[in-house]
Amino acid sequence: MAGTVSAGGFVLSIDDLPPVQERFFNRELSWLAFNRRVLAEAVNADYPLLERLRFLSISGNNLDEFMMVRVAGIAGQVRRQIDELSIDGQTPTQQLGALLEAVKELVDAQQDVLFGLKDDLAKAGIRLIDNDALNKGEAEWLREYFEEHVVPVLTPQAIDPAHPFPFIANQGTGILFQLLRSADGSPVTEMILIPPALPRFVRLPGKSASWIGIEELVRRHATLLFPGFKILGDGTFRVLRDSDIELEEDAEDLVRYYRTAIQRRRRGKVILLHLQENFDADAEKLLRRQLRLDHALVIKSRGLLAISGLSTVIDEDRQDLKFDPYNPRYPERVLEHDGDCFSAIREKDLVIHHPYESFEVVIDFLRQAAADPDVVAIKQTLYRAGKQSAVIAALIAAAEAGKSVTAVVELKARFDEEQNLMWAAQLERAGVQVIYGFVDWKTHAKISLVVRREGGSYRTYCHFGTGNYHPITARIYTDLSFFTADPRMGRDAGQLFNFVTGYVEPKHTELLAISPINLREKLYECIDREITLAAKGRPATIWAKLNQLTDPDLIDRLYLASMAGVEIRLVVRGICCLKPGVPGLSETIEVKSIIGRFLEHSRIWAFGNGSRMPNKRARVFISSADGMSRNMGRRVEVLVPVKNPTVHDQILDQVMLANLLDTEQSWELGPDGEYERFEKGDPSFNLHGYFMTNPSLSGRGAALSSGRKVPKLALRRGAANRG
Say if CB 210 and CB 134 are below 8 A apart.
no
- 444 is a catalytic site residue: yes
DSSP secondary structure letters along 342-406: HHHHHHS-EEEEETTB-THHHHHHHHHHHH-TTEEEEEEEES---SS-HHHHHHHHHHHTT-EEE
Say if CB 361 and CB 481 are below 8 A apart.
yes
Say if CB 494 and CB 460 are below 8 A apart.
yes
Classify 596 in phi/psi space as left (phi over 0), alpha (psi -120 to 50) or beta: beta
Least trusted range by pLDDT, from 193-197, 637-641, 711-715:
711-715
What's the pLDDT score for residue 251?
A: 41
What's the pLDDT score for residue 160?
A: 85
What's the pLDDT score for residue 683?
A: 79
Say if CB 228 and CB 330 are below 8 A apart.
no
Digit-coded pLDDT (tens) for 465-474? 999 888 888 9
Say if CB 30 and CB 281 are below 8 A apart.
no
Rg (CA), the chain: 27
DSSP secondary structure letters along 499-529: HHHH----S--SS-EEETTTHHHHHHHHHHH
- pLDDT score of 56 more than 70: yes
The identity of residue 122, as a single letter, is A
What's the pLDDT score for residue 600?
A: 96
Least trusted range by pLDDT, from 37-46, 161-170, 228-237, 704-713:
704-713
H or E stretch covering 290:
helix 281-291
Q: How far apart are CA 381 and CA 66, in angstroms?
A: 26
What's the pLDDT score for residue 280?
A: 87
Q: How far apart are CA 530 and CA 542, in angstroms?
A: 8
Q: How far apart are CA 379 and CA 447, in angstroms?
A: 8
What's the pLDDT score for residue 710?
A: 45
What's the pLDDT score for residue 5?
A: 66
Buried b (16+ CB within 10 A) or exposed e, 671-690: beeebebbebeeeebbbbbb
What's the pLDDT score for residue 711?
A: 44
Q: How far apart are CA 519 and CA 262, in angstroms?
A: 32
Digit-coded pLDDT (tens) for 491-517? 999 999 999 998 899 989 999 999 999
Counting beta carbons within 10 angstroms of the beta carbon of residue 714, is it exposed (0 to 12), middle (13 to 18) or buried (19 or more)? exposed
- pLDDT score of 76 more than 80: yes
- pLDDT score of 706 more than 50: no
Digit-coded pLDDT (tens) for 553-611? 999 999 999 999 999 999 999 999 999 999 999 999 999 999 999 999 999 999 999 87
The mean pLDDT value of the chain amounts to: 88
What's the pLDDT score for residue 522?
A: 97
- pLDDT score of 256 more than 90: no
Residue 338 CA, chain-centre distance (Å), reads 35
Average pLDDT over residues 286-309: 90
* Phi and psi torsions of 615, nearest 5°: -160, 170
- pLDDT score of 414 more than 70: no
Residue closest to 314 by CA, chosen among 594, 687, 33, 60: 60
DSSP secondary structure letters along 83-120: ----TTS--HHHHHHHHHHHHHHHHHHHHHHHHHHHHH
Say if CB 321 and CB 124 are below 8 A apart.
yes
Q: How far apart are CA 331 and CA 350, in angstroms?
A: 9
What's the pLDDT score for residue 122?
A: 93
Least trusted range by pLDDT, from 144-153, 200-209, 229-238, 246-255:
246-255
Digit-coded pLDDT (tens) for 482-493? 999 999 999 999
Digit-coded pLDDT (tens) for 93-135? 999 999 999 999 999 999 999 999 999 999 999 999 988 788 9
Digit-coded pLDDT (tens) for 603-614? 999 999 987 655
Say if CB 572 and CB 625 are below 8 A apart.
no
What's the pLDDT score for residue 499?
A: 93
Average pLDDT over residues 326-351: 94
Q: What angle do CA 30, 32, 33 make, to 5 degrees?
A: 65
Least trusted range by pLDDT, from 225-239, 428-442, 647-661, 695-709:
695-709
Residue closest to 558 by CA, chosen among 526, 596, 536, 533: 526
What does DSSP say about strands 442-443 and 635-641: parallel, antiparallel, or unpaired? parallel
Q: How far apart are CA 10 and CA 532, in angstroms?
A: 8
- The domains found in the chain, sorted by start residue, are 28-107 (1.20.58.310), 152-304 (3.30.1840.10), 332-502 (3.30.870.10), 513-699 (3.30.870.10)
Q: How far apart are CA 681 and CA 661, in angstroms?
A: 11
- pLDDT score of 677 more than 60: yes
Residues in a beta bridge with 350? 483
Cα separation values, 173 from 200, 494, 680, Å: 10, 49, 42
Residue closest to 481 by CA, chosen among 605, 632, 323, 349: 349
Residue closest to 267 by CA, chosen among 61, 68, 63, 62: 68
Least trusted range by pLDDT, from 11-20, 93-102, 142-151, 365-374:
11-20
Residues in a beta bridge with 357? 329
What's the pLDDT score for residue 704?
A: 40
Residue of 444, 470, 601, 688 marked active site: 444
What's the pLDDT score for residue 411?
A: 73
H-only helix segments in 405-475: 417-429
**pLDDT over 70, % of the chain:** 89
**pLDDT over 90, % of the chain:** 71
Classify 665 in phi/psi space as left (phi over 0), alpha (psi -120 to 50) or beta: alpha
Residues 6+ apart with CB under 8 A from 683: none
